[in-house]
Amino acid sequence: MIRLNKYMADCGVDSRRNCDKIIAENRVRVNRKPVCELGFMINELNDTVTVDGKKIKPKTKNVYIMLHKPKGYVTTVKDEKDRKTVMELVDVKTRIYPVGRLDYDTEGLLLLTNDGSLTYKLTHPKHEVVKKYLAKIEGEISESELEVLRNGVVIDGQKTAPAKVKVSGKDDKLTKVEVMIHEGKNRQVKKMFEAVGKQVVFLKRTEIGEIKLGGLTRGTWRYLNEKELEYLNKI
């Protein structure tokens, strides 16, 4: 049960105080019956409320979630091949969807939301939101090959935008490379390395703009904090 004025405010009619005035003016109906009693309680799940003859319903609140996607999950709401999806890792009542995608065998930072406007801003290349990846490749990579990646390579007939690429570590068999791009072509990072003859054996996205994965463990999620939401609102 919820007070009628609060329900009206949640629906975006007006402030609670002004909603009381609207109720007092006999402009509200609950289940087709006029209500002018202040403090009137309703069942928000079953009762139908109209204001000036128009049905009202609560506005959907935007939800913003960060997930550390593990390997072995597809970045989609439902998979036609019946593979595990990232939605199985997040337990919220609101209908949300992934922002962009990570490959089945790629892990790392994935955002999920019900905010379509934000999804467009984060995924459209014109906004140039930088995504940072950590790639592990077989063998070594030369400075000249890194320079080719920085200047852009041709993938599926189109040249990629300039990227920031640097080696962050290596051992006898693998080289760690940090890659920063603002595009989101299908399997882009892996194809970039393939263009210079390198095989990616591990790939993890660690940052989207100023949003960082941090210490979130594989398969877990959390709501974005106020600082992260402030950044997203500025995009």
Instruction: Please give the positions annotated as active site.
Output: 103
Report how far residue 136's alpha carbon sits from residue 130's, in angstroms, rounded to the nearest whole number: 20
Nearest C-alpha neighbor of 68 from the set 186, 208, 182, 192: 208
Q: How far is CA 57 from CA 53, 60, 117, 125, 129, in A?
A: 13, 9, 21, 35, 35
Environment class of 197 (CB within 10 Å of its CB; exposed 0-12, middle 13-18, buried 19+): exposed
Distances (CA, A) of 86 to 69, 79, 105, 219: 7, 10, 12, 9
